[in-house]
Each structure stands twice: as C-alpha cells, then as structure tokens.
Amino acid sequence: MEFTKVKIGIVGVTGVAQITHLPILKVMKNVEVVALCDSDLEHANRIADKFNVPHVYSDIEDMLQFSELDLVDICTPVQLHVHNALAALESGKHVIIEKPFAENFVDAEKIVQAAYKYDRNIMSMQNLRYRSDAIILKNILSNNLLGKIRYVKSGWLRRNEKWRQLSSRQNNESGVIMQLGLQLMDLGLWLVENPRVLSVKATAFNVQNKEAEDTAFISMHLEKDMTLTAEISWNMKFGKDFRYVNLIGENGVARLNPLTIYREENGKLANITPAKRQTRENHYQHSYENEFSHYVFCLSHNQEIQSDGKEIIQRFRLLDAIYKSVSTGKEVEVG
C-alpha cells in the first residue's frame, strides 16, 4: 500500500507524546499529524494549538471516523492499549504502540491476532534498537567480526525513583521487569539475531512497596549455546543512572554506552570502535527519529517491519516465563 503522506492520529497526548512523538512526527516530510485524542479535551486542544494539529477528539471512536487516517499512534497508559489498538485495527488503521506494548501476554496476543485478522501492520516501540551506537554494533555483529557470541551481559540501573513506584501502584502497572527489563532484553536479543530462549531463571524483590517489583535479576539460556543476563532496578542507591550491554565473542568483545569494540587480530587486541560517534545527549531523540522513519518507510513501501507481531508474541512469552520463575523460584522453560 503506497502513501504520499502517512496521516497519523495520536491517542494520549501527555508525557512521551509531547516529548518525542509530536516534535518528531511534525517535522517528517512524509508524515502528517492530522488528529489528537485525549480524555482531557481541554488539554488536547492546547497541545493541538501548540503543534498545529487540525482535529481534536476526546474519544477514540470519534477519531476513527476521520476518513483520511492511515495510522494510529497509541501513547495512553498501558491499561488502555488493548482497547485502543483493537478499535483502531477493526476500523482498518495501522497501529504503533508506545512501550510497554500490553499489560500481559493475553492482551498482547489479542492485539497481534487482530492485526493478522484485519491485515494491518503493528509495531511495538522499542527505541533502544534504534540508537546509533546499537545500529553500529548490530552491523559489526552481523558481519561476524567478533566471532560467535557466547555471553550477553546487560543492565539498567536507575536511582531511587519513588515517582515510578507510586505510578505503578496508582495505575496497577507491572514493575521494573515490564517497564525497563523488556526493553533491555529486547535490545540484547535483537543484537544477536533473536535466538530462541530455551529457559529462564529470575529473581525479583521490592524495596519500597509490595505492589510491583523494583529490582530483578534474570538469566536466560539461549539456543546456539548462548547466555543472556539482565540486572534491572529503579531503586538503586547510585549517584547516577546507567545502562549497559556487554557482548563476549570468541574473537572479540563489545559494549554499549559508551560504544567500545575490541577484536583479536594477529594475536593482539585491536580497538575497532568507529571514530565518529554521536554525543550521548543525542541518542534518545535520535533513536525515536530512526524508529519512526523505519516504520513509516516500511508502511509506505510495503516492507517488513521490525518488532512486529511475531516478535511481540515471543517477548511476551518470555515475560510470562520470567514472572513464573520469580513466583516459583525455579528455572522455567520458555514455550
């Protein structure tokens, strides 16, 4: 299906919609943001005025009657994702959903099955894949410059965030495994070509509240004799936040944030890190720019989309196994 411009309606215009989605989409040449929808109509009108969006709605059903809409961008709280996505897909619109994609496997499967039923494209926002350093590292790995990867060690540790824990309690959201862990594990698996996860062992605990885990440690046994580990927390007593992905291969090692790549050559380690890198401050914004460009290009040219329905189902099966391992204290096979 070819578009001259992809016409987009955004549902939920607080937080990430204002920080990244609207500023990026409004300047893309092959995109037109034609509608906003938010339960707070007064707020939606203010944002529409700020970004010069012509149509504003308080109900997604009303917005979906807009005949020129091609794509619905969902930025609402996760509890509303399944309702909004199903409504959009049933009306014949393509859908992109800000992370986390759904609250659980059941809801994720409902959305994916609806996309197949109505022959529409969906994508889960996973912007860590679209950081410039991650893309560079992916190309290095795809060219087998580090040899067979044996171990992926990752972590995302954030300072004590009482606001995040309060939000989880108020909105009945899952904890750090869903909010941070899913993104981190998606990045690690994507870098090594999405091997099948055979089994998982996970532990989690709460420091500040009993409603949602704020710290977790996960170990995954992957096919091709690989191991991936992830440590995640939003309640660590650090001076600053940090995120990392380290990869150990038979011929070299690499890490993200900052990007550093070493390869063994003639019995010596050579630093093969590309000399030109983006500044760290640009990575977040640029990752969203790259992700939207990828999705819109694929949609306009009928190309395969990353983080599509098949991958979404794989990730949520993994999440189910992780939570089962946390609750039972045992290693769990991934279906």
Q: In the block, which residue shows the tokens 């940090």?
A: 242
| Residues 283-320 pLDDT 10s | 889 999 999 999 999 988 889 998 888 899 999 999 99
Domain with CATH 3.30.360.10 in the chain: 128-290+313-333
- Per-residue model confidence as pLDDT tens digits over 166-185: 555 445 567 899 999 999 99
Q: Which amino acid is at 226?
A: M
Dihedrals phi, psi of 32, to nearest 5 degrees: -135, 115
User: Contact 184/128 with Cβ under 8 angstroms?
Assistant: yes
Residue 180 tokens read as 């941070």
Cβ contact 6:30 at 8 Å: yes
Q: Pick from 11, 75, 108: which is nearest to 308 by CA?
A: 108
Architecture of domain 6-125: 3-Layer(aba) Sandwich (3.40)
260-265 β-sheet, strand order: 268-271, 260-265, 252-256, 242-249, 149-159, 226-236, 215-222, 197-205, 332-333
pLDDT the model gives residue 170:
45
Beta partners for residue 227, in sequence order: 151, 221
Q: How far is CA 292 from CA 28, 198, 278, 296, in A?
A: 9, 32, 19, 6
Q: Which residues of the chain have pLDDT under 70?
A: 1-3, 67, 161-173, 207-210, 276-281
- pTM score: 0.91
Long-range contacts of 47-54 (CB under 8 A, 24+ apart): 47/13, 47/17, 47/18, 47/22, 51/22, 51/23, 51/26, 52/26, 53/22
The per-residue pLDDT for range 48-67, each reduced to its tens digit, is 999 999 999 999 999 999 86
Would you tell me how many other CB atoms lie within 10 Å of the CB of residue 29?
7
Class of domain 128-290+313-333: alpha beta
Q: What is the dihedral of CA 14, 19, 21, 27, to 10 degrees?
A: 130
Q: Where in the chain is the domain with CATH 3.40.50.720?
A: 6-125
**Beta bridge partner(s), residue 152:** 228, 247
User: What is the pLDDT, as a whole number, of residue 55?
Assistant: 96
